[in-house]
Amino acid sequence: MLREQWIRAKYERNEFEFIEKQEPYSAGYREGFLWKRGRDNGQFLSRKFILSEREGALKYFNKQDARDPKAMMKIETLNATFQPAKIGNPCGLQITYLRDNSTRNIFVYHSDAKEMVDWFNAIRAARFHYLQVAFPGASDEELVPKLTRSFMKEGFMEKTGPKHTEGFKKRWFTMDDRRLMYFKDPLDAYARGEVFIGSKENSYTVLSGLPSSTQGHHWSHGITIVTPDRKFLFACETEAEQRDWISAFQRVINRPMRPQEYAVEAHFKHKP
Question: What contacts 58, CB < 8 A, 6 or more positions away?
Answer: 49, 50, 51, 52, 72, 73, 75, 78, 95, 97, 123, 126
Report yes or no on whether pTM surpasses 0.75: yes
- Among the three residues 102, 123, 144, which one is the final residue of a domain in this structure? 144
Does the pLDDT at position 258 exceed 80?
A: yes
pLDDT tens profile 127-176: 999 999 999 999 999 999 999 999 999 999 999 988 877 889 999 999 99
Task: State percent of the chain over pLDDT 90.
Answer: 78
In this structure, the answer to whether residues 111 and 3 fall within a common structural domain is yes
Residue among 243, 261, 28 nearest 157 (CA): 243
227-257 per-position pLDDT tens digit: 998 999 999 999 999 999 999 999 999 999 9
Q: Which of 16-20, 28-32, 224-228 has the lowest mean pLDDT?
A: 16-20
Query: Residues 176, 248, 148, 43: is their CA dihedral positive or negative?
Result: negative
Tens-place pLDDT, residues 70-98: 999 999 999 999 999 999 999 999 999 99
| Shared-domain flag, residues 6 and 111 | yes
* Residue range of the domain that includes 110: 1-144
Last residue of a domain, one of 126, 144, 162: 144
Q: Are residues 178 and 94 in the same domain?
A: no
What's the CA gap between 73 and 256, in Å, rounded? 29
Question: Does the pLDDT of residue 272 top 50, yes or no?
Answer: no
Q: How many domains does the chain have?
A: 2
Chain segment 177-213, per-residue pLDDT in tens = 999 999 999 999 999 999 999 999 999 999 999 998 8
